[in-house]
Amino acid sequence: MSLRLHSKYGVNPTIPVCFVCGKPKNEVVLLGAGYKEEAPMHLCIDKEPCEECKRLASKGVMLVEVQDNTDKENPYKTGKIIVVKEEAYKHIFNTEVPPKRIAFIEETALKKIMGDKYGTEIKETK
Ligand SMILES: [Zn+2]
């Protein structure tokens, strides 16, 4: 695929951020004329998790905390991410593990689940 240059901003580069954790990925994407304005420094362009999130999701199911009543298409993430074992996930939510092993969960719901442990540092288990 060739890139159509933006008349004003040329290759119009942006650093894609991870849809899950919101951290910048180690890559640059050239948007060119595909993006109407000048591309922002960071932009979430797809729902592909970054390497770190893929690594975490391989250990269990990621619970990504979002604000209550947030926009479902573009949820506002609080930055808190907890990884639970598959068995624990099934036990807590009484449902199958999501295909990408990533679940968004509202703050209030997570607090309820975590109880006293909420807010304390949860170490990754090996
Ligand atoms: Zn990520």
C-alpha to C-alpha distance for 35 and 6, rounded to whole angstroms: 8
| Number of residues that make up the chain | 126
**Domain shared by 56 and 73, yes or no:** yes
Give the Å distance between the CA of 25 and the centre of ligand 1: 8
Give the Å distance between the CA of 57 and the centre of ligand 1: 10
Give the Å distance between the CA of 21 and the centre of ligand 1: 4
- Per-residue pLDDT reduced to its tens digit, 73-124: 778 899 899 999 999 999 999 999 999 999 999 999 999 988 888 876 656 5
Q: How deeply is 84 buried, as exposed, middle or buried, from its count of CB atoms within 10 A (0-12, 13-18, 19+)?
A: buried
C-alpha to C-alpha distance for 124 and 83, rounded to whole angstroms: 7
**Domain shared by 57 and 102, yes or no:** yes
**Domain shared by 60 and 83, yes or no:** yes
- Enumerate the β-bridge partners of residue 63: 82, 103
**Domain shared by 58 and 80, yes or no:** yes
Averaged pLDDT, 4-25: 95
Structural domain boundaries enclosing 61: 51-117
pTM as predicted: 0.78
